């Protein structure tokens, strides 16, 4: 009888020990990281985190992928659910938030987001063709520094376009017979944007672009150009019919 009671008690204890991890298993937390779809290089990046199930004492880390191995690097340990991340150089980034337990450092929740950081790139680095010749143009009362000149059409292929906007400084050639020149920016899914510049003066054109879509310029007479663009990289846009 005693042996039967002892065996029963042992069985109960073993069963309780076996079931304990299941009974006290911790569920994963629900996290959602929100960052802007676009940001500007050199400026802090706002973020917000929606969470449920995060325990006091656990750490929330925001990380980004880096290198060819796409390893995760911690860029911020956050104690609040709203804040700003350190500025990043221009490029595309995968970022995530993870929750680590204080003692075991196990990950109990994570969420990914994508971030695009745009930087200012000189137009000469983007559009100048092999035959482009920078120089200066003497105008009444001032001098205009240009990266090259264009006439006719120049097309930026969709695969090469990493830019969200472009700024042109424009001066018509003094040798043009027309009293003014017109520079037009055309795009796949947006209306043309144009500016008219009187000969002997300098004009400007700011055009919004769609990343991943082709765009181009058209000039009915010789125009000298300078300017910059807001892009994800400084690589050449490989235009068809570049500057001269």
Which CATH number is 138's domain given? 2.60.120.1060
Based on the fold, state whether residues 153 and 222 are members of the same structural domain: yes
Q: Which of 61, 71, 65, 49 is nearest to 102 (CA)?
A: 61
Based on the fold, state whether residues 216 and 162 are members of the same structural domain: yes
Based on the fold, state whether residues 210 and 150 are members of the same structural domain: yes
Q: Tell me, what's the pLDDT at 20?
A: 43
Banded model confidence at residue 125, pLDDT cuts 50, 70, 90? confident
Stretch 217-244: mean pLDDT: 85
Stretch 211-228: mean pLDDT: 93
Q: Tell me, what's the pLDDT at 104?
A: 57
In this prediction, what percent of the chain has a pLDDT beyond 70? 81
CB 183 within 8 A of CB 226: no
Residue 2 pLDDT > 60, yes or no? no
Which CATH number is 100's domain given? 2.60.40.2470
Query: Where does 7-90 show beta strands of DSSP type E?
Result: 30-34, 38-40, 45-52, 59-66, 71-78, 82-85
Residue 13 pLDDT > 90, yes or no? no
Domain C-terminal end among 88, 119, 150: 119
Residues 6 or more apart in contact with residue 61 via CB below 8 angstroms: 74, 76, 77, 78, 97, 98, 99, 100
Do the domain assignments include residue 1? Answer: no
Range of the domain at 86: 26-119
pTM of the model: 0.78
SS3 content of the chain, % helix, strand, coil (to 5): 10, 55, 35
Half-sphere exposure of 220 (CA within 13 A, CB side): 11
User: Looking at per-residue confidence, does 196 or 238 come out higher?
Assistant: 196
- Mean pLDDT of the residues in the chain: 83
- Residue 37: both structure tokens together: 């779809």
Based on the fold, state whether residues 90 and 140 are members of the same structural domain: no
């Amino acid at each position: 009888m005693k042996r039967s009671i002892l065996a029963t008690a042992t069985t109960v204890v073993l069963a309780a020990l076996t079931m304990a991890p299941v009974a006290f298993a911790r569920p994963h937390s629900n996290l959602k990281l929100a960052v802007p779809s676009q940001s500007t290089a050199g400026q802090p990046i706002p973020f917000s985190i929606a969470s449920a199930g995060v325990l006091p004492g656990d750490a929330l880390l925001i990380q980004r992928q880096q290198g060819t191995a796409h390893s995760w690097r911690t860029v911020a340990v956050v104690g609040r659910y709203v804040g700003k991340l350190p500025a990043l150089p221009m490029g595309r980034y995968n970022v995530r938030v993870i929750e680590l337990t204080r003692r075991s450092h196990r990950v109990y929740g994570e969420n990914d987001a994508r971030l695009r950081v745009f930087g200012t790139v000189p137009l000469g680095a983007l559009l100048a063709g092999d035959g482009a010749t920078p120089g200066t143009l003497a105008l009444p009362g001032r001098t205009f520094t240009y990266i090259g000149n264009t006439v006719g059409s120049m097309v930026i292929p969709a695969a090469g376009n990493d830019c969200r906007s472009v700024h042109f400084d424009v001066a018509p050639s003094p040798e043009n017979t027309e009293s003014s020149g017109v520079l037009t920016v055309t795009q796949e899914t947006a209306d043309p944007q144009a500016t008219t510049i009187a000969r002997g003066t300098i004009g400007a054109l700011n055009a919004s672009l769609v990343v991943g879509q082709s765009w181009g310029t058209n000039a009915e007479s010789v125009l000298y150009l300078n300017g910059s663009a807001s892009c994800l990289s400084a690589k050449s846009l490989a235009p068809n019919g570049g500057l001269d």
